[in-house]
Amino acid sequence: MIEPLTYRATPDEWAEWAAFAEHVPDADDEEAPDAGALLEVLVDGALHQGFCYPHTAAAVPGFVALATDERVGDYQRAWILVHLFSIATVGRRDLCRGADTQVEAPEAVAARRAVAGALPRLTGRWDDESEGGKFFLAALVAACPEAGVSLRAQIGRLREAYARTTREATLRLVEALADADPQQIDLRDISPAAAARRDSPHCAPENRGLSVLEALIIEEIDASWPG
């Protein structure tokens, strides 16, 4: 069984909580710092119940500011990258869930473009990221391929480091999406269940791949809870 992704310990949990509290105006003083709870508040405001809204794009800079804030530890930063992936892909994933259109919703397009526009600030941190941070940043590149082209070689080397593991198959999917090549997207490498998904007729291979990838990265981060 593959080992969970690793993260460096958060140096100051109160400082991390304060960084999040700056983005949550009604954050209450607590007996113990819980940055994760404040992140949940921010995510609920931006992507309530997993849906995209006209204000979702405007929330992206706040997430990016936290992801680049030195007070935020590796584990919460990794979660921020996962949530940015969800924001960037929500419209395309929706096309796999019975949507009666082949067109990504305008608010979802705006959210995707907001994440893509901010991606260079995040990709520039690659060398400083933890193992978990690199893995989730690679997934974010799959969501915004053109904005993340500078990391394509690094993602390939990351995949090679996980040869003959389930994580290698996930990163092959990341590479296929990053290359924007539907012919490379083979969900049989992931699992029979992923390959047998019954999605909307409007669900293109790319959108199906993004839907599967979101589930995979959430499984990864849930399995690597540092406590």
Closest CA to 64 of 122, 130, 136: 122
Assigned domain for 216 exists? yes
Closest CA to 213 of 153, 104, 135, 105: 135
Assigned domain for 2 exists? no
Contact 89, 23 (CB under 8 A): no
> From the DSSP assignment, how many helices (H) and strands (E) are in the chain?
10, 0
Give tens-digit pLDDT for 35-51.
999 999 999 999 999 99
Assigned domain for 57 exists? yes
Q: Structural domain tally of the chain?
A: 1
- Average pLDDT of the residues in 101-128: 94
Assigned domain for 115 exists? yes
Distance CA 60, CA 118 (A): 8
Give tens-digit pLDDT for 54-90.
999 999 999 999 999 999 999 999 999 999 999 999 9
Assigned domain for 5 exists? no
Distance CA 185, CA 32 (A): 44
Looking up tokens 């053109």 gives 146
Q: Give the residue numbers spanning the domain of 97.
A: 13-24+32-221
Assigned domain for 7 exists? no
Q: Could you report how far apart the first and last alpha carbons of the chain are, in Å? A: 19
Tell me the pTM. Answer: 0.94
